[in-house]
Amino acid sequence: THAPPPSPPLLTGLIGLAHSLHWRGDILSIYFVVGLVMIFFRNASDKVLIIASLLLILNLPIRIRDGYRVFYPTPPPTAQQQKQNEQKNKSYWDTVKKGNYRELLMANVPAIVDKFDFQFDSGRIYITLGYFLLGLLAGRRKWFAKWEEHRLFFKKWLKISGFATLGIIAVAVPLGIFFGSGEPKPWFNLLMSALYDVHCMLLTIFYIVGMTLLLQKKSWQGALQNFSVIGKMALTSYLSQTLIGII
């Protein structure tokens, strides 16, 4: 008997691990972890997917943490810690410029842990999971496969996301002018971070539905279809950037 081939999630994890050793900003290893969590949502109802994706995309875990820190702030890094971080960054930069291949690989090993620390501390891994769940819902409801049935749905969300994005900008800019100078207040940072997360979500939706609508227009199809080549070779394109960069 022959061993079965690696499953796509496992293969993604292995490629991500190898890629992380070459470039510490690799995202495939993050997708692997998020993909494992997705297993627990495979039988979830549409309602659960909508609620979970919305709360995660809005970065609720980090907003709760930041709200807690308004009342119980954490001490800022000491001068010694800042100096150590600067030395660490300089050492890595010297390795990238002057080190050999083995030294580059060894320097990127501890960065794998640092990357996951950043993902959880910033909440980006929660946001990624939220978008994955939204994609699961889109596939289940066949929003893109049955385009004609959802044409009005896309047009509706193009208007909602577009005007809401402009509305957030109209609110955030005056707030930044009046309260953003000097040492920012904790409540100001919390509010602006929340507005930023909502803005990113709406702008993402605007791009997706807007591009989908444009693809249905014959006058745009010729130009936009050319980009499909990159879409079909996303992994190759992504890894090639690292290969070219290292060389």
pLDDT of residue 170: 96
Q: What is the DSSP letter of 4?
A: P
Number of C-alpha atoms within 13 angstroms, CB side, residue 226?
Answer: 3
Residue 6 has pLDDT above 60, yes or no: no
In the predicted structure, residue 131 carries a pLDDT above the cut 90 = yes
Closest CA to 162 of 197, 206, 194, 212: 206
**pLDDT at residue 48, rounded to an integer:** 96
Q: What is the pLDDT of residue 226?
A: 83
Burial class, 179, CB count within 10 angstroms (exposed 0-12 / middle 13-18 / buried 19+)? middle
224, pLDDT greater than 60: yes
Indicate if the pLDDT at residue 7 is higher than 70: no
Residue that wins the pLDDT comparison between 186 and 127: 127
Give the residue-averaged pLDDT of 234-238. Answer: 91
Residue 198 in contact with residue 168, Cβ under 8 Å? Answer: yes
**21: burial class by Cβ within 10 Å (0-12, 13-18, 19+)?**
middle
pLDDT score for 1: 45
111: Cβ–Cβ under 8 A, 6 or more apart, which residues?
A: 20, 24, 92
The alpha carbon torsion through 190, 194, 196, 200 (nearest 10 deg) reads 160
Residue whose tokens read 């070779």: 233
Rounded to whole angstroms, the Cα distance separating 117 from 76 reads 17
Over residues 150-162, the pLDDT tens digits come to 999 999 999 999 9
Tens of pLDDT, residue by residue over 71-107, are 888 888 888 989 999 999 999 999 988 999 999 999 9
- Interval 108-135 mean pLDDT: 95
Question: Would you say residue 45 has pLDDT above 70?
Answer: yes
Residue 57 to residue 78: CA distance in whole angstroms: 32
pLDDT grade, residue 2 (50/70/90)? low
Is 57 within 8 Å of 131 (Cβ atoms)?
Answer: yes
